[in-house]
Structure 1
Amino acid sequence: MPVSDSIAASQIQVNRGFLWRVSFIAGLGGILYGYDMGIIAAALIFVRQSFGLSTQMQEMVVSIVLVGAMLGAIIGGSIADRIGRRSTLLWGGGLFIFGSVLAPLSPNVLTLIVARAILGLAIGFTSVTAPVYVSELAPPQSRGGLISLYQFALTLGIALADLVGYWLAGEQAWRLMFGIGAVPAALFLLLVLTLPESPRWLFAQNRATEAQVVLTTYTNEAGSRLLLDDIHTALEAKIDRRWSALWSPAARGALFIAVGFTVLQQVTGINTIIYYGPQIFALAGITSNKNAIFATLIVAVTNMLATVIALFLVDRIGRKPLLYIGVSGMTVSLFMLAIAFHQVAFGSSLGMIATVCLVVYIACFAFSMGPIAWILVSEVFPLQIRGRGVAAATLGSGASNFLVSLTFLSLIKAAGNVFTFVIYGGFCIVTLLFVRFIVPETKGRELESISAKPSVAVN
């Protein structure tokens, strides 16, 4: 950590209770993200039966939410920079409620697709804004852990979705599975109303007095003064606020890091397990729908619990060491899964082997790529275009997620189980190289110092 950052951090005293409360409320957006992404794994089995869906139509029901998320990221990034982080979260909460009510009322698959697209818009709004909002309030020494709460909430949402799916599987109540999401959506909307606006955004809008008021609610006078000085210095750099500014020399390095890493996060195959977990376990010989959903629930709970590791370690040992360990574990587990599918002699043991491999894979992802991707993208961009920068990274994530989810079942049919998971394992190796040579270490650094020189990888 640079000396100036270390000195500044030592003078900032914060009200941790306030920051944890803000991070928790912002994290509820992650629960909604995780629930609406995860619930399709169980619901799709019964939606398919109700509407008689083909393989391609199943892929559309799953992946349309990602189209909405990409559009929501583009719109949400601009809105977050124009009207504020808090207001954008409120819009996202309203969309979550609307989509969660429309989905269970769907009389046909086209209406369900529209509802899922609306939920995608809400995901785009909140996934762009919540990590940025938390990063702009958090002090450097605890920023990684606080942003990781969003990823933890996302994994909690996925686990809750799988639990609800398992609970309602006997009744095949897919409409209720979707409708339950309206409850946390309403709670999120109400709690966001209690939040202040980001002081960094207020200062960027020439509302310095309001920014000072917000800062004094959670930091001491010296910390408030230091943060305002840093923000003022960052704003003196004349950076174009248009989307084209992301290609400027001041932002190009950050854009490559953020978009590159979020794309790699998706093409390593994580959401094939989230969306198609029961189908993967069926390929491994678990024929009961309920047992396949239960195996998916085990994976989701592992995802949630392993994320706690990142909460405690990301600000202690750094981003890159966790990435080296986690991505290496993902690589090994995917190749082991491919080998298991190749060895037909495993017979009835294949279901257990597949479960173990996927549990190890998801655990390694959960304490590394899962939370650290959103930490990095909220740290590396200059303040003036941070919302748009995170939107671009979210768009890259959504596009690659869409491609993976839209092609997974077709890839399994065309290339087979073994080659499919070898492909995802190969992308894990590419990710290790990207971390080694491109990703910077941002632990303990002020946002302004990171965005000033984000493209230098600290090993």
Structure 2
Amino acid sequence: MSTFVSREEILPNTETVLQTYVRRNFIWKVSFIAGLGGILYGFDMGIIAAALIFVRESFSLSTRMEEVVVSIVLVGAMLGAIAGGSIADRIGRRATLLWGGGIFLIASLLAPASPNAATLIVARALLGIAIGFTSVTAPVYISELAPPQSRGRLIGLYQFALTVGIALADLVGYWFAGQHAWRLMFGLGAAPAALFVVLLLTLPESPRWLFAQNRVAEAQSVLSSYTDEAGARLLIEDIHSALDLKVEKRWSALWSPAVRLSLLIAVGFTVLQQVTGINTIIYYGPRIFSLAGITSNRSAIFATLLVAVTNVLATIIALVLVDRVGRKPLLYAGISGMTASLFLLAYSFHNPAAFGAAPGIIATICLMVYITCFAFSMGPIAWILVSEVFPLQLRGRGVAAASLGSGAANFLVSITFLSLIKVAGNSVTFIIYGAFCIVTLLFVRFIVPETKGRELESISAGHGASVS
């Protein structure tokens, strides 16, 4: 639907030069440390699946209060996304990540000390704010340091780390399920939060952000730490070209004609990522398996753990292929598989005897296929696209807008899932999520661009990045 300017048309030898001069060990270090924010995100999102079973018993929660305990983290994430985008553009990417890490640490200590549901809700809201800060800033930070030929893989590491965090949460939940130790489940999140803060102190600020703040000497110093002279000159030329464009930095600029398509791609795709049902599995996995006939809490948590491990392994497929075959081919394959598995799951709930096997086994297979397809497609590629399509001066706010849309859709799905199951039934609920998968396929076909191998400045230029 949109035409992108080829990077080769602007500077023919860009990829060759960057591939020669970028010091990969530095880029991988940055991506690994920023990715720890993804582990925190995944852990604090995923741990509620197991902990909720025992929190419900400890605090005698109603169905509505269960949904609030699960979903309040998403309200915090939306607030954190709104604030985080502006803060990242104002004080820097690294400093915003440090703030997020500090809030993670405080909330991870408050949650296990909660004497009642109200305190736990406050702690999870704070975790959400930290998630909003890091989910907005980490992909932007990585994208502004990564060379174009490996940017998709490096940003994808954040999503990979998120899946590792979810798997660790399910493993911790399974380990402590026999003891009903939900406080320990929450408290263990403080360890990676502390490590995240300490390691962030060893990283530099984004050179693109430093140039935008006219801190040229600092930006050049950062560039010289991971590129040779030729690579640094090339990146400086690109950054100066981007900064020469007149871009209005207010939030309203995201709705200007020059940036509107970027906003549609970013927000539309992240909303669709959520309404296809992924977080019903992350938050309510044990409940889904109990609906399918697995009656033991520990067995339901173990089945959720299997799905989470599958999520981690399948994300590796995206890391390997996203910069080779491109974004859209992976999306077509993944979303098609998600659609088929959701409709099959819905049918298994409607007619459990049709497959000649225990419903719990069918549900486990369907969810493992679903999560596999999500993990090599929509999971990582959503945040890759979001980090790529906005011009430099609006990138923080643009990613924040996408995170806000994602959080709002996530909140809507998580706050309504149990109620929807009660009102519409298991089968119809998953048919609804399958229908959203079909909508997503159409969105990818007609709206989403292919950004493989393009420099960030050429991508935003393809949208007409200047705003008067």
Counterpart Cα distance in 1 of 2:463 and 2:47 = 37
TM-score, normalised to structure 1, is 0.98
Q: 2:454 — aligned with what?
A: 445
* CA contact 1:104–1:175 (8 Å) conserved in 2: yes
> Which residue, out of 96, 120, 130, partners 2:104?
96
Structure 1 position 175, deviation (Å): 0.4
Structure 1 position 11, deviation (Å): 1.2
Counterpart Cα distance in 2 of 1:223 and 1:7 = 11
Q: 1:232 — aligned with what?
A: 240
Q: 1:7 — aligned with what?
A: 13
TM-score, normalised to structure 2, is 0.96
The letter of the residue matching 1:219 is T
* CA contact 2:275–2:436 (8 Å) conserved in 1: yes
> Which residue, out of 359, 362, 366, partners 2:368?
359
SS in 2 for 1:197: coil
Q: 1:381 — aligned with what?
A: 390
> Which residue, out of 274, 282, 298, partners 1:290?
298
The letter of the residue matching 2:448 is V
* CA contact 2:7–2:455 (8 Å) conserved in 1: no
> Which residue, out of 257, 260, 264, partners 2:265?
257
Structure 1 position 344, deviation (Å): 3.2
Give aligned pairs, total: 456
Aligned in 2, Cα 1:212/1:275: closer, same or farther, shift over 3 Å? same
Q: 2:284 — aligned with what?
A: 276
* CA contact 2:258–2:464 (8 Å) conserved in 1: no
Aligned in 2, Cα 1:298/1:24: closer, same or farther, shift over 3 Å? same
Q: 2:250 — aligned with what?
A: 242
Query: Which blocks of at least 5 consecutive residues in structure 2 are unaligned?
Result: 1-5
Counterpart Cα distance in 1 of 2:54 and 2:308 = 20
Counterpart Cα distance in 2 of 1:62 and 1:190 = 29
The letter of the residue matching 1:288 is S
Aligned in 2, Cα 1:314/1:455: closer, same or farther, shift over 3 Å? farther
> Which residue, out of 194, 209, 213, partners 2:202?
194
Counterpart Cα distance in 1 of 2:39 and 2:417 = 25
Counterpart Cα distance in 2 of 1:144 and 1:6 = 20
* CA contact 1:41–1:162 (8 Å) conserved in 2: yes
Q: 1:24 — aligned with what?
A: 32
Counterpart Cα distance in 2 of 1:243 and 1:95 = 25
Q: 1:409 — aligned with what?
A: 418
> Which residue, out of 427, 434, 438, partners 1:429?
438
The letter of the residue matching 1:29 is G
**Which segment drifts farther, 231-240 or 368-377?**
231-240
* CA contact 1:295–1:355 (8 Å) conserved in 2: yes
Q: 2:217 — aligned with what?
A: 209
Counterpart Cα distance in 2 of 1:249 and 1:271 = 33
Counterpart Cα distance in 1 of 2:160 and 2:12 = 28
User: What is the alpha-carbon root mean square deviation over aligned residues?
Assistant: 1.1
Counterpart Cα distance in 2 of 1:251 and 1:90 = 29
- Structure 1 position 372 matched with structure 2 position 381: yes
- Structure 1 position 177 matched with structure 2 position 182: no
> Which residue, out of 119, 129, 138, partners 1:121?
129
Q: 1:65 — aligned with what?
A: 73
Structure 1 position 99, deviation (Å): 0.4
Alignment of 1:140-155 (within 5 A): 140-155=148-163
Counterpart Cα distance in 2 of 1:319 and 1:257 = 13
Structure 1 position 3, deviation (Å): 2.2
* CA contact 1:168–1:174 (8 Å) conserved in 2: yes
Counterpart Cα distance in 2 of 1:28 and 1:149 = 10
Counterpart Cα distance in 1 of 2:352 and 2:36 = 43
> Which residue, out of 405, 422, 433, partners 1:396?
405
Q: Deviations over 1:361-398 (max 9, x none)?
A: 00000000000000000000010010000000000000
The letter of the residue matching 1:11 is V
* CA contact 1:440–1:454 (8 Å) conserved in 2: no
Identity of aligned residues (%): 77
Counterpart Cα distance in 2 of 1:455 and 1:202 = 23
The letter of the residue matching 1:22 is V
Structure 1 position 348, deviation (Å): 5.8
> Which residue, out of 167, 172, 176, partners 1:164?
172
Counterpart Cα distance in 1 of 2:299 and 2:104 = 30
* CA contact 2:258–2:463 (8 Å) conserved in 1: no
Structure 1 position 2, deviation (Å): 4.2
